[in-house]
Structure 1
Amino acid sequence: MVDHRPTLGPASFWTQANALLRKNLTFQKRNMWTNVRLISFPIFFCVLFVVLQSVLDNQLDTADRRCGCICVERDGNGGCQSSECGIQYSTSDQVASCPIRNPPEWPALLQIPGSNYRAVRTNSIMSSDLPNESCRSTGSCPAVSFFTGNNQTLGQILTRSMFSTSFNISTSDVLGSVSSNVLGSQTYPERTNYLEAAFASALPIYNVQSQCAANSTFSFVINQSSIVNEIEISCVQGLYLWRNSSSQVNDELYRGYRKGNLEEKINEFVAAYDFLNSDGSNFNVSVWYNSTYRNYSTGFPMSLLRIPRSVNLVSNAYLQFLQGPGTRMLLEFVKEMPKAETKLRIDLSSLLGTLFFAWVILQLFPVVLTSLVYEKQQKLRVMMKMHGLGDGPYWMISYAYFLVISLLYMLCFVIFGSVIGLKFFTLNEYSIQFVFYFLYINLQISLAFLVAALFSNVKTASVVGYIFVFGTGLLGGFLFQPFVEDESFPRGWLIVLELYPGFSLYRGLYEFGQYSFQGNAMGTDGMRWGDLSDSTNGLSEVMIIILVEWFLVLFVAYYVDQVSSSGAGKSPLFFLHKLLRKPAPSLKTPSLQRQGSKVFVQMDKDDVNQEREKVEQLLLESTTSYPIVCDNLKKIYPPRDGNPEKTAVRGFSLALPRGECFGLLGPNGAGKTSLINMMIGLTKPTSGTAYVQGLDILTSMDTIYTSMGVCPQHDLLWETLTGREHLLFYGRLKNLKGSALNQAVENSLKSVNLFHGGVADKKAGKYSGGMKRRLSVAISLIGDPKVVYMDEPSTGLDPASRNSLWSVVKQAKRDRAIVLTTHSMEEAEVLCDRLGIFVDGSLQCIGNAKELKGRYGGSYIFTITTSSTHEEEVENMVHHLSPNANKIYQISGTQKFEMPKQEVRIADVFQAVENAKSRFTVFAWGLADTTLEDVFVKVARGAQAVNILS
């Protein structure tokens, strides 16, 4: 498995980028059906709109909406003698499509509140000049309006002359005479003026007078535009009340509208007039009116409001103030504009596409987010980094990878929508759509990188991502869009709302929908580049916001990633360190902290002291051949959740030469994992440092990664990539190319027994635990790394696979430095040239297995089995050989003794047993040396006992 070719240098930026790109493309190929499901999401909505559009078109083509001719006179044979073409029904359903050459004339009306809703004194409005609410029971409440201005006297003169004191109607010219009076209605106006709803309704029309007589109800018949209806006109008093300022008017109008309890639900006023600085030579007035009327049967806002009569009233009043009461400015009628026949067209994709297409585009956000969090949760990002993948290549390829996927997704969406004829896409200029979608998906990807730093669990990130998707769409439709359509809503606050990326997307789609809807209805084009200069078009400001946020969010996301997500992370002010960087400490500089560690030196054993002195000597040399030098490493975890601080590593020093495998033994919680995490850059030391290939782990970890291999305790693999694809990816990160790469991968697979039987090309997710473990070992050794860390590499392996793996490791250590942690004493003896027993954060002893057994064993274990009648004689024999022997086991003639080595010679034991056989029967006997496991237990217990006493 070991390749003895010349050492390769670290992979270049583009080599790393190429490796990651190839891996991502392979991963994308493995997830083909996931991509199909992703693309089917927008296709589903497009097809749904086509189906609904077909249903709507059929409904719009029904007889009651179709213009045509109707027979108005038939001959004696039943044939049509005279026909009439155009609108055939007395409703406004055909108005939008039929030609209207001579629109009907209608008297101009005031919008009068219903008798139960007219303004009265309430708990919230206590003005004494308002009528008492008892008038509602008799239906006699006046229609109240306010007036204010700089000149109260002038205002009173003008308001007194607005309404007449009588009602006159001519039967020969009903509509003409009606127009000379001030009429009003509580009905809501239609969206067109072809039909005045007040004259088609059964509700009364009000004659507004300054004072109503006792009998002031009139009836007449109207015959206009296919409407034949008996109209009842009732008198209502018009009452004008003075207020001192416009702010007082505004406050009372607001508090009076839909306020109070159920009985006071609506307390409406007719209008308000602010005469400002009007006087005898200057007429300047503001007319306030209620613009909130809606047609609740359709949900659409009214496009027409009854304003002309209000303006005419105040204009006539001022004219009469100047010229006398006989002067009048007539407002005879209002009517719709003439128009030609228009095909009735309603495009659902433009009308409803804003919400649904926002969901389609936002769907990409959780896809990108979960992919990033998956790499974080599975620690794959850290694994790639530890094998040499730099932050630059990772960000460039990952960002470009998601950008290409998003562009293909949007391209399929727009092309499919255009092919099936959705006006939302076909009418608006494609170049504008491309720029907008391109800007937004870049912002969305940047936002996903930023949000991914907040999550470490894929399921949580997925739930939050989809809440963002559907929540944004619903909030956009029911909160943000009404603000966009409300012309009185401050533009500044609208821009503030658009700073939220979801609302920026919604605003852009809303503009596309509005332009395509109008273009389809009028038979013209949708949005063009020139339309972006329109003051009502918010797309240009949205694209500027998205562009600025794109770069800002991308910068913040990269900064957060550097501080919190890249291995051990960096200081929040890491960008300043490059400006203020001091020369990195070299191996010539002794550790200042080590000089103050006399307490540890006094407590350590001789072998540990010798290792520490060796490290001190190496640090004073200009160069060293030792790949790993640990200098007094310490790790202290700060207090958390009420627990005191925890010292995980206490001044660890080690010098590891090339070609040596160092075994790190210790009980659970001893600090082995913390030590390894510091060495591989996952956590930072509290003090001290280590040098790998002469580079400081505190300042040069990114360079160290290029010559390092790691076999983590838990397998970090992509479930959908094969074993071969894993090794190809990590081999490329180690700068292997071409035939050398393929040969190295093949040798690695053969070495760990994953080559034959098609196992190499099987997805890693289908591997057994042992196969995954062998693949992790192969990954750690690919590319000839000079330093390798293996954390319990043989866990879960069967005996045959374990022995095969041991052979691989023994062969690999010939020109490498390997640090191995294990709980298997057998594995430690087979693989490790030296061992260190780690207890409670400190190194208790160091040496090869034979030295440790000789140093800490100190006794033989003598076992003998005889008949139970000779047990006492056997015990006497043992004590004759070793006076300090200790019986540690006895049952049915079998006895086990522990004899100090300094009291016993092996030859004497053999001789004593031979002599005993001549006197009684010895069924079995044995003399064993101390095992490594015994040494481990003895050292661990001794160290723990000392720590407890101290």
Structure 2
Amino acid sequence: MANGNSAASFWTQANALLRKNLTFQKRNVKTNVRLIMFPFLLCLLLVLLQRLVDSQLDKAENKCGCVCVRTQGDTCLEEKCGLEYSDLDQVATCPVPNPVEWPPLLQVPAPRYRAVRTENFPFSGYPDASCRTNASCPVTMLFTGANQSFGEIISGNMIPSSFIPINNSAAMASLAANVAGSSSMTEDTNFLEPAFFSDLPIYYLQSQCTQNSTFSISFELSAAISRSQELVCAEGLLLWRNSASEVNNELYKGYRKSNPEEQIEEIAAGYDFLNSNRRIFNVSIWYNSTYKNDTGSTQIALARIPRSVNLVSNAYLQFLLGPGTKMFFEFVKEMPKPSTPIKFDLASLLGALFFTWVILQLFPIALTSLVYEKQQKLRIMMKMHGLGDGPYWMISYGYFLAISIVYMLCFVIFGSLIGLNFFTMNDYSIQFVFYFIYINLQIALAFLLASVFSNVKTATVLAYIGVFGTGLLAGSLFQFFVQDTSFPRGWIVVMELYPGFALYRGLYEFSQYSFSGDALGTNGMRWGDLSDSTNGMKEVLIIMFVEWLLVLVFAYYIDQVLSSGSRKSPLFFLKGFQKKPHSSFRKPSIQRQKSKVFVEMEKPDVTQEREKVEQLLLEPTINQAIVCDDLRKVYPGRDGNPEKLAVRGLSLALPQGECFGMLGPNGAGKTSFINMMIGLTKPTSGRAFVQGLDIRTHMDGIYTSMGVCPQHDLLWESLTGREHLFFYGRLKNLKGSALTEAVEESLKSVNLFYGGVADKQAGKYSGGMKRRLSVAISLIGDPKVVYMDEPSTGLDPASRNNLWNVVKRAKQDRAIILTTHSMEEAEVLCDRLGIFVDGGLQCIGNPKELKGRYGGTYVFTMTTSMDHEKDVENLVRGLSPNANKIYHISGTQKFELPKDEIKIANVFQAVETAKRSFTVSAWGLADTTLEDVFVKVARGAQAFDTLS
């Protein structure tokens, strides 16, 4: 195997992971196409729905009205269209070359809202609340200024004392001669004044109303539109206040704040004459801006405020020139307009909800990918082969960011190409900044939540519930709060701290600007609009940007504290400020000092190994590949069960060039020991050094020279065997031709090179092929320490022998720890063996030493009829009085014969003699096997544990 010689640099590791991710992405082209098609299909759906809506709006009954003026038979020769032939449902689409002249109106509160004196509104001059019972409350106007007598004269001229009769032939023009008003809301255009097309009456102001003060006017807008409107007298109440602050106070107290059904004390207007006198006319006017329509139109200032200005101007002229002087304010009118089709931008209306779902689709993809690597232990596998946290975070984050950017670009470009106003009308630079910040925040959230989940299915289900739940909650609840101007803005900001609501708010603002821009013929959102107090985009961008940075830092912190293989102290970031402790590897283990009783019970060979470790720890440098000093692992008890002692004070020294085999029954602690050595779990106590580095504090350094073949194959199913080896070879700093050569040698050594197997995806490998690939991964790059957990499991005899040859060659210049249940494998590969039982090392030595130490017997087996079982037993007792029967069933008996009491020739002679007396079906004499030693040691240890 080729040697990487040194640890791979940051950029080499990043390059390896990037290449692996790109290869993985290439394998998932169909998945990527389906991902990209989702926003395409959704945009197409919106286009189809828009076409359907447009086709319904384009019907004749919705177009400007037409009439045939010249016919020939059933054929219309000439048709005229226009406002005069339209009804109220059609006039919006008609051209209006000569807009209708509407009489100027005041904005007058409805009778039930007019200001009266109450406990909560205890100001002087207002009528009692009883006037509301018969709708006779006056319309109040407040006045103030520097000169009260001047102000009272001017205000007294504003409200007429008599009603000028209406001429029905010119109803609109003659109504302007009176001071008229309405409580109706304005529209965003004034082609049809809403006051004359609602069920609300028109009010005319008088200083005093008479009993017969209700009239009716009729007017005709076109041949298809005629209306009759009720005129109701409203008494004007003029109240003087000493200062502008008093006026402000009363106006604020009576302001319409939220629920229109609550008690409201509305005042029609306020006037501050300031320093006005006979030579100076300087007036400030308060008006009620509550009566804007839903689009926030300022049409009220164009249509209703001019009458307030005209009233006070006329009053001042009458003060100067006499009561007969008057500026006649005849009408207000719109600018001419061409014909306009009915528009209803469905994509902008539904865009906030639909596009929230589109963008959130990226979140489950990133989350499940990260959780998959965690669940399959692929990340820790990469880490154990030298991949640092820095390259992993940089490449993984950049990988998801690149996918998200491509996804969003396709989304925006496609939406623009098919003409969705949501994209085309809003500034693309604002869209880029918004989407870029959010997808970064979304990726950071995926990294944070990946540390919480350990199962892909659970993460996937909860992620998609979050996606659709966020959209539904935002569309049905959060949007309601945003549209409610009385809802505290602070709580809106609090809700926007949830990233899904922040995303929805930004998309909602885009949709509102595109919808209103399409309806009014204006632009969508521009950077200057972010300063608008009603625009929430600025606060959303700030919230998401700050959250992105905070979540990213917190996600990295949680990953370092909780992630397997890199778990650190919660205060690990203060490590640089802490005083570095003196090297402690020469100090005796505290746990060992507390375990003298256990040490006294150890076998001599185990004690000798412990003493060897103590001696090594006293040397200036540890020249052994692996040194374990009283390593101990205890799993805490759960659900009322006692704690589990998995590894009991293990001491072991392993030099370079040795293969150490760990034998033991299931649950003996072998895998727990390896998990501690490779960083999956931390030891409860004790220490271990790999190449002189402590596993408790320097695992990142150990990983650069370590190889692992785990008990279960940790492979990417969509990558080939060759791609696996190229990836892990790059992590071991192999480059160029050395990398290619090492990969080919590895594939050949484990018999995966020929027949196209190397280029087959690992998910299509058999179990044995996966094991061979895992062994090749553990050995590539010349690691100095290799852990193999049952490497030959599932292999056929030929593949197993081939694998043994690979391990034999590999152990020449590296230390290998190998666990196995195959005694044959242990004898062939291992220079030394250790038998584990219940977490403790029971014996240690090479296979011959163990058989000699624990197997000083022959095993004699004989099968006869059941009638001669006693004869067989007598035969054995004659050969060795200390023989021990170890097996007996249906005429077959096994005995252990001490080697120092018998000779093999005597056994053969005794059997030949016995054959003359009774029939012997089968017999045999065998030396002790390693399996016998294993069984004997395991049973002895378990019996001792039971007694103790």
Both proteins in one fold, TM over 0.5:
yes
Aligned to 1:13: 10
Consecutive unaligned residues of structure 2, counting only runs of 5 or more, are 122-126, 241-245, 277-281
Q: Which piece of structure 1 moves more, 159-168 or 638-647?
A: 159-168
1:420 maps to which residue?
A: 418
Cα deviation, 1:57-84, whole Å, max 9, x if unaligned, reads 5455554555587677999999999967
Correspondence 1:214-613 to 2 at 5 A = 218-224=215-221, 227-233=225-231, 257=259, 266=261, 269=264, 271-272=266-267, 291=291, 335-341=332-338, 343-344=340-341, 347-481=345-479, 484=482, 493-517=491-515, 520=518, 526-529=524-527, 538-580=536-578, 582=580, 585=583, 588=586, 590-591=588-589, 593-613=591-611
Residue in 2 aligned with 1:921?
919
Of 78, 98, 106, the match for 2:95: 98
Classify the secondary structure of the residue corresponding to 2:755.
helix
Assess if the C-alpha contact under 8 Å between 1:664 and 1:820 holds in 2. yes
Aligned residue identity for 1:733: L
| CA distance in structure 1 between the partners assigned to 2:645 and 2:143 by the alignment | 79
Tell me, yes or no, if the aligned pair for 1:349 and 1:423 is still in contact at 8 Å. yes
Indicate the larger mover: 176-185 or 424-433: 176-185
Structure 1's 78 and 28: CA in aligned 2 closer, same or farther, altered over 3 A? closer
TM-score by length of 2: 0.84
Return closer, same or farther for 1:288/1:905 CA change in 2, 3 Å cut-off.
farther
Among 136, 150, 170, the residue aligned to 2:166: 170
Distance 1:336 1:789, change over 3 A: farther
Deviation at 1:711, TM superposition (A): 0.9
TM-score under structure 1 length normalisation: 0.84
Output aligned runs, 1:202-217, within 5 Å: none
Give the structure 2 partner of residue 690 of structure 1: 688
Going from structure 1 to structure 2, the CA distance change for 1:291 and 1:771 (only over 3 Å counts) comes to farther
Go from structure 1 to structure 2 and tell me whether the alpha carbon gap of 1:248 and 1:691 turns closer, same or farther (over 3 Å shift): farther
Of 192, 196, 200 in structure 2, the residue corresponding to residue 199 of structure 1 is 196
CA distance in 2, matches of 1:511, 1:904: 98
Query: 1:177-192 counterparts in 2 under 5 A?
Result: 178=175, 190-192=187-189
Counterpart contact for 2:111–2:135, Cα < 8 Å: no
| 2:688 match: secondary structure | strand
Asked if structure 2 preserves the Cα contact closer than 8 Å seen for 1:14 and 1:393, the reply is yes
Of residues 34, 43, 48, the one that matches 2:45 is 48
Equivalent residue number for residue 726 of structure 1? 724
Give, in angstroms, the shift of residue 673 of structure 1. Answer: 2.1
**Equivalent residue, structure 1, for 2:279:** none
Shift of 1:285: 8.4
Counterpart of 1:572 in 2: which secondary structure? coil
Alignment of 1:28 with 2:28, yes or no, is no
Shift of 1:16: 1.3
Partner of 1:297: none
Q: CA deviation at 1:815?
A: 2.1
CA 1:676 to 1:250, structure 2 compared with 1: closer, same or farther past 3 Å? farther
In the TM superposition, residue 925 of structure 1 has moved relative to its aligned partner by: 1.4
Q: Which amino acid aligns with 1:560?
A: I
User: Which deviations, in whole Å up to 9, do the C-alpha atoms of 1:87-122 show, x marking residues without a partner?
Assistant: 64232654466235333314636566699x999999
Matched letter for residue 935 of structure 1: V
| Cα drift, residue 394 of structure 1 | 1.1
- Structure 1: where are the runs of 5+ without partners? 259-265, 295-299
Q: Name the CA distance, whole Å, in 1 between partners of 2:811 and 2:72.
A: 114
Aligned partners of 1:34, 1:782: CA distance in 2, in Å?
A: 32
> Residues 448 and 436 (structure 1 numbering): CA distance in 2 closer, same or farther, change over 3 Å?
same
CA contact (8 A) 2:646 2:672 kept: yes
Shift of 1:445: 2.0
Corresponding residue SS for 1:837: strand
Q: Give % identity.
A: 63
Q: Tell me if structure 1 keeps the 8 A contact 2:247–2:270.
A: no
Q: 1:628·1:693 contact (CA, 8 Å) conserved in 2? A: yes
Which segment is superposed worse, 365-374 or 21-30?
365-374
Output the CA distance in 2 between the equivalents of 1:256 and 1:527.
28
Contact 1:727/1:745 (8 A) holds in 2: yes
For residue 748 of structure 1, what is the amino acid of its counterpart? Answer: S
Task: Select the residue among 794, 797, 816 that pairs with 1:796.
Answer: 794
Q: Is 1:830 paired with 2:828? A: yes
Q: 1:313 to 1:158 in 2, by over 3 A?
A: farther
Q: Which amino acid aligns with 1:712?
A: P
Contact kept, 8 Å, 2:663 with 2:836, in 1: the verdict is: yes
The one-letter amino acid paired with 2:388 is G
Query: What is the CA-CA distance between 1:606 and the residue it aligns to?
Result: 0.9
- Flag the 1:518–1:808 CA change in 2: closer, same or farther, 3 A: same
SS in 1 for 2:42: helix
Over the aligned positions, Cα root-mean-square deviation in angstroms equals 4.8
| 2:196 maps to amino acid | F
Distance 2:926 2:94 in 1: 107
Aligned-partner SS, 2:434: helix
In structure 2, relative to structure 1, the CA distance for the partners of 1:602 and 1:307 (3 Å cut) is farther
- Residues 423 and 520 in structure 1, CA contact (< 8 A), matched pair in contact too: yes
2:310, 2:329 within 8 Å by CA — same for their partners in 1?
A: no
Please tell me whether the aligned partners of residues 179 and 205 of structure 2 are also in contact (alpha carbons under 8 angstroms): yes
Counterpart-to-counterpart distance in 1, 2:79 and 2:769: 93
Alignment equivalent of 1:846, drawn from 844, 847, 854: 844
Q: Given that residues 272 and 289 in structure 1 are in contact (C-alpha distance below 8 angstroms), is that contact kept between their aligned partners in structure 2?
A: no
- Alignment pair present for 1:736 and 2:707: no
> Which deviates more, 850-859 or 173-182?
173-182
CA apart distance, 1:726: 0.8
Match of 1:262 in 2: none
Cα gap change, 1:333/1:359 in structure 2, threshold over 3 Å: closer, same or farther? farther
Q: CA deviation at 1:203?
A: 6.5
Cα distance in 2 for residues equivalent to 1:81 and 1:467: 61
1:371 shift after superposition: 1.3
The 3-state SS of whatever aligns with 1:670 is coil
The one-character-per-residue Cα deviations of 1:303-343 (angstroms, maximum 9, x if unpaired) are 76699879978997999999899899999676442133265
Q: Is the 8 A contact 1:447 1:554 kept in 2?
A: yes
Query: What is the rounded CA distance, in whole Å, between the counterparts of 1:581 and 1:493 in structure 2?
Result: 46
C-alpha separation in 2, matches of 1:208 and 1:946 = 110
| Distance verdict in 2 for CA 1:754–1:215, change over 3 Å | same
Distance of aligned partners of 1:859 and 1:807 in 2 relative to their CA distance in 1, 3 Å threshold: same
Whether contact under 8 Å (1:754, 1:771) holds in the other structure is yes
Candidates 798, 811, 814, aligned match of 1:813: 811
How many Å apart are 1:553 and its aligned residue?
2.4
Aligned 8 A contact 2:303 2:332 in 1: no
**Partner of 2:36 in structure 1?**
39
Superposition pairs of residues 136-151 of structure 1, within 5 angstroms: 140=134
1:764 and 2:759 aligned: no
- Per-residue deviation, 1:232: 4.1
Worse overlay, 733-742 or 311-320: 311-320
The question of whether the paired residues in 1 share the 8 Å contact of 2:65 and 2:91 is answered with no
